[in-house]
Amino acid sequence: MKKTYYNSIDMDTFKQELKAEIIRVLNLDGMQPDDINDAEPLFGEGLGLDSIDALELIVLLEKNYGIKLEKPEDGKAVFQSVNVLADYITRNRKK
């Protein structure tokens, strides 16, 4: 079932869930969803994630939302920040 968020409260809840998932799959021990700023870059200078984390997030997208990225480079645009990622998932999710 495709979910769409019509208001910002739903979207905020979704972002919190998403951050919890990121912490879980990337094994970011000791971090809480609130430690991740929604607008902060996930890679490089922000949270400090790298290419392997990007691959893990690609698996997460496919497993949880049925979104399949064909090339690792495609992740660059999608994983800019939690805001960008949440928006991308909302528009492209298959489940």
Binding site for another protein (CB under 8 A): 26-31, 48, 50-53, 55-56, 58-59, 62-63, 71-72
Amino acid letter for position 75: G
Residue 8 or 27: the one with the smaller Cβ distance to another protein is 27
The neighbour count for residue 8, using CB atoms within 10 Å, is 8
DSSP code for 44: T
Q: Which of 77, 84, 65 is nearest to 21 (CA)?
A: 65
CB of 14 to another protein, least distance (A): 21
CB of 78 to another protein, least distance (A): 14
